[in-house]
Chain A
Amino acid sequence: MVTEEKKTELLAKLRNAVIQYDEDTSKEASQEALDVGMDANDAIFNGLVSGMVEVGKMFEAQEYFVPELLMCADALYAGLDILKPHVTQLDLGVKGSVVIGTVEGDVHDIGKNIVKMMFDVAGFTVYDLGRDVPLDKFVAEQLRTDSDLVCLSAMMTTTMTGMKKVIDDLRTKNPHVKIMIGGAPVSQDVADKYGADGYAKDATNALKDAINMIESLKKMKDEVEAKKAK
Chain B
Amino acid sequence: MIIDPEGHELDALLARLPAVHQCSVVEVGCGDGRLTRRYSQHVGSVLAIDPGELAVAAFRSEGVPANVELRAIPIDRLELSDESVHVVLFSWAL
A and B associate: no
Q: Footprint of B on A, CB under 8 Å?
A: none
Binding site for A on B (CB under 8 A): none
